[in-house]
Structure 1
Amino acid sequence: MANEVRISKLICTVLYLVHVNGYVFYGFGNGYRYLTKQLSNAGLFDASALSSVEAKWIEQPLDHFDENETRTWKMRYFENLEFWQPNGTIYLFIGGEGEASPVWLTMGILYELANETNGAIFGSEHRYYGKSMPLNNLVTDNLKFLSSRQALADLETLLKYVRSLPKFEKSTDSKVVLIGGSYPGNLAAWMKLLYPNLIDAAIASSAPVLAKKDFFEYLETVADDYEQHGTPECYDNIARIFQRYEKLFSSAEGIKLLKEEEKICEDNDMTKLENKQLFFMDKTSPFMIRAQYGNPAYIQTHCKKLANSSRVASLQQFFDDEPSFWREETECFDYDFYNMIDEVKEIDWAVSWIYQTCTEFGYYQSTNSDAHPFTRNIPADLYYKMCLGMFGHEFNEERINAGVLNTNKLYNGLTPNVTHVVFVNGDMDPWHRLGVLEDVSYEAPAKIIPAASHCRDLFSNRKGDPEELKEARKYIKYLIEKWTGFGEYTVD
């Protein structure tokens, strides 16, 4: 069981929740960082394989779409030619909202496919993340060059450069395959949409291709997971705990008791609406992480812990460079909204990703639904206030609406006009509610994996994989090798 819990935490996401607790950022986008931090402890890859990976740099235009902007910057990428033979397949594993890692090029379905198809493996780092920083992203005006459209053009430049290198230039039969999970899964599909002559096939894993401002369906799916896979009384126990929290907030005496029980910092004014909402974010996040990364056994274990409890344990800081509600110096939880904003403003990756949600995607996991037990204490407008607090008065709800509309118009939402893209989702993963769940066409199929979590198809714990997951991986490999015309791969 301990191994299953550990493995469940390794599954990728490139997607952060825009929540601001040490674990609350775990969700959409930060999964690659989450994965990289834990891989060595789980023994899922041979560290010696990293010797085959080389970090490289390529010059990119600051703005691909303005000929009057002449500034450039250096983008980092990784290369692994361990399996490369002339006319093998060229694979690009797309980085997202976090620092890229060479580990990505040494494991999982990408590594297996490269081994089977004499492939060259590349990994990209997204602009404004990791070491690929065009400008100081702590200055809001500099962030106007951060967008998915600019990132896709970066990938175009990188792939054209790779194809021009002497070792690949003569391999005219080599096909190009993109692989991405979560937000990079979006990018994989969108590259096939906008650059169809450059890309031969793509895997879009757990890709929320539909931008949505108020993503209340996220917590509905979390609730479904707990109702379906948890103990019989679990859903009611969750509702009981959250309703008690809500009742305590209704009186001064209740707030005093709550602050004592939950070790809330004495100077936090918990009558302020935003502070109360941050508290509910923190208490909801343990359920989110188990639904997004877990499995049925993981949820069952959590349910048993809640059976006789009157509270939900907070998740402590996980990454050293992540914001956390916990204050070590005073040994209390700080739920002050504006303290949180100040802290997040100092963290590069958090600033960049929140900017993208405010200008392109939304993805705000609210409680604006009655189909869950978490009460209605995380409204979408809390996130709108975060955009305003982070970037200024122009980043209001109207701008978020416009960004979401433009994104869906550019990429066609749930019906992208693509071929040779496989859309893969786990039905436990809350992000599947914004993904492609039905075949776009015969040449752009959708695959839903029962009881699977976020990006579970991309990485394996091998012996512990259920049969449905093993069969899904075989199917994905079959499609990629069929579409690229490499070998005679068949599904057993």
Structure 2
Amino acid sequence: MRGFLPLLTCFAILQNVRGWREFSRGRWNGGNLRLLEGDDSIIGDFENVITDWFTQYLDHSNPTDDRTWKQRYYVNDQYVSKRRDVAFLMIGGEGEASDGWMVQGAWINYAEKFNAICFQLEHRYYGESHPTADMSTENLQYLTSEQALADIAYFIQEMNVKYELSPNVKWIAFGGSYAGSLAAWVRQKYPHLVYGSMSASAPVLAKINFSEYHTVVYEDLKDTGGDKCVSAVKQAFNQVDLMTRDIAGQRKLYKLFHLCDNITESTSSSEDIVILFDTLRGHFAGIAQFNKKNGGPHNINLDTLCNIMVNDTLGPEVNRLAAVNYLMTAHRCLDCKYDTMISEMRDVSWDSEAPVGGRQWYYQTCTDFGFYQTTDRIPLDFFIKQCSDIFGPKFNLTIVERGVQRTNTLYGGLNPSVTNVIFVQGSYDPWHALGINKSTKLYPAVVIDSASHCENMYSPSVYDSEALRQARIQIEEFIGNLLKSA
């Protein structure tokens, strides 16, 4: 069996939903860039894919620290020309790297056209790339975007030698989601090593209070099901809100949404209620973010959810929301226990039962990015409390604010001083609210109408919209012009 993540359909992913464990803070368990089943291009020649390990420094900011670790990477050299003057790098993000990406995806089509050698570098602390003995808070101090960018720089220098690449080799970086930000930032910070980048669905602006996320979700619902769908969703959440305010209502919620535990008997009932709201809104957010991903005819999309929410025969709106929950959880009980979440996220072992990469991503949001998707019922204080409860009392609002300010100071937020980068967004993707959506004299930006998170990174499909097809052409032309330039 190959060493990459199982290829899952959207429906198969949703069958395993258990609240926060599967979708939290705008991130699917295992990361946001996932391989999907049903794409013919997944049938590739894995004989050309090599898995290897690179000796990396633990702390690039301290030259007196000589500790090292092994970082995983993949190579596919089947398309490279004798000149060996073009190298593509897919940057790993907030999840495990996959050798499946070495034989599929739009970047492989570009590699074949432009005769590139392909590398994929797994992000430190994710997947099998373990820099430290465990994920204790002390050890996680080396999990930063700056350290990740330095990893890329040292990796490129070594690959130039190991694979005897041309002295004039042009490296083009590819990344989606958080890795899309890294793709832009590595060109910005190391322009002598990276000649250009394709940055997809990248939230380059760090922001603590990311309420705009849900604004986009509601716009998506309105575009899909009209005012009737949006109104039904809002009414359903208002009804849930009313039911949380007394014990009788809470008992009804326990039965209606098939909760694993009765929140009336919990010592953290107020936090449990917030997790319930966060999970229920996540049903819509997760689908909006990945709606009809890769253009395929998947079983669940926004049309599915809106059809349920406007179905009067199901009773009041809260009953329809319960029907959505029933579908999304595949009949499993819904775990909303705050204490359980905190306990699992405190597990520092690499084989913990917490969501794959969950502790690491929570840490990065608490120290670098924020990205907290707040609403009236899911306040900022709730997320800050999680930072303190998981990583220690010093991780308070002041620390998060400093981290966010530092990130934007380092990279420029929505006004980066960078060239040779094409920024690609999907209009349905809530993360585009923190990304580059307009072209400037320094860089082009492409916003693909009705496209989802990182959709352009997947292999071309007969289900691609015309807007997506045109975006693919524009991206290919951009890369071609970079490689033609002096």
TM-score range (shorter-chain normalised) is 0.7 to 0.9
User: Structure 2: how far apart are the matches of 1:107 and 1:287?
Assistant: 28
User: Structure 2: how far apart are the matches of 1:10 and 1:462?
Assistant: 20
**2:44 matched to 1:45?**
no
User: Structure 1: how far apart are the matches of 2:480 and 2:338?
Assistant: 50
User: Structure 2: how far apart are the matches of 1:181 and 1:299?
Assistant: 22
Q: 294, 307, 323: which one pairs with 1:304?
A: 307
Correspondence for 1:136: 133
User: Structure 1: how far apart are the matches of 2:476 and 2:28?
Assistant: 24
User: Structure 1: how far apart are the matches of 2:201 and 2:32?
Assistant: 16
Q: 82, 89, 101: which one pairs with 2:98?
A: 101
Please say if residues 44 and 104 of structure 2, whose CA atoms lie closer than 8 Å, have aligned partners that are also in contact.
no
Correspondence for 1:15: none
Q: 331, 341, 364: which one pairs with 2:372?
A: 364
RMSD in angstroms over aligned alpha carbons? 2.6
Q: Secondary structure at the match of 1:238?
A: helix
Matched letter for residue 234 of structure 1: C
Change (3 A) 1:174 1:157: same
**2:196 matched to 1:193?**
no
Correspondence for 2:4: none
Q: 187, 201, 214: which one pairs with 1:219?
A: 214
- Please report how far the alpha carbon of residue 351 of structure 1 lies from its aligned counterpart in structure 2 after TM superposition: 1.1
Gaps of 5+ in 2: 1-7, 348-353
Q: Secondary structure at the match of 1:424?
A: strand
Q: Secondary structure at the match of 1:69?
A: coil
Correspondence for 1:14: none
User: Structure 1: how far apart are the matches of 2:470 and 2:53?
Assistant: 37
Please say if residues 22 and 315 of structure 1, whose CA atoms lie closer than 8 Å, have aligned partners that are also in contact.
no
Matched letter for residue 23 of structure 1: E
Give the stretch that moved more between structures: 377-386 or 119-128: 377-386
Matched letter for residue 369 of structure 2: F
Change (3 A) 1:304 1:46: closer
Change (3 A) 1:203 1:48: closer
Give the stretch that moved more between structures: 129-138 or 307-316: 307-316
Change (3 A) 1:448 1:482: same
Q: Secondary structure at the match of 2:96?
A: coil
Correspondence for 2:286: 289
- Please report how far the alpha carbon of residue 210 of structure 1 lies from its aligned counterpart in structure 2 after TM superposition: 0.1
Structure 1 residue ranges (4+ consecutive) displaced by more than 4 angstroms after TM superposition: 6-11, 29-34, 313-318
Please say if residues 250 and 263 of structure 2, whose CA atoms lie closer than 8 Å, have aligned partners that are also in contact.
no
Correspondence for 1:61: 57
Q: Deviations over 1:143-169 (max 9, x none)?
A: 11110000000000000111112531x
User: Structure 1: how far apart are the matches of 2:159 and 2:431?
Assistant: 33
Q: Which aligned pairs between 1:49-198 and structure 2 lie closer than 5 A?
A: 49-85=45-81, 86-168=83-165, 171-198=166-193
Q: Secondary structure at the match of 1:294?
A: coil
Q: How many percent of aligned residue pairs carry the same amino acid?
A: 33
Q: Deviations over 1:331-364 (max 9, x none)?
A: 7433221111112333361111111110000001
Correspondence for 1:250: 245
Correspondence for 1:472: 471
Q: Deviations over 1:404-448 (max 9, x none)?
A: 00000000001111110000101111000000111232x411111
Q: Secondary structure at the match of 1:93?
A: strand
Please say if residues 31 and 357 of structure 2, whose CA atoms lie closer than 8 Å, have aligned partners that are also in contact.
no
Q: How many residues align structurally?
A: 452
Correspondence for 1:456: 455
Q: Secondary structure at the match of 1:107?
A: coil
- Please report how far the alpha carbon of residue 69 of structure 1 lies from its aligned counterpart in structure 2 after TM superposition: 1.2
Give the stretch that moved more between structures: 238-247 or 343-352: 343-352
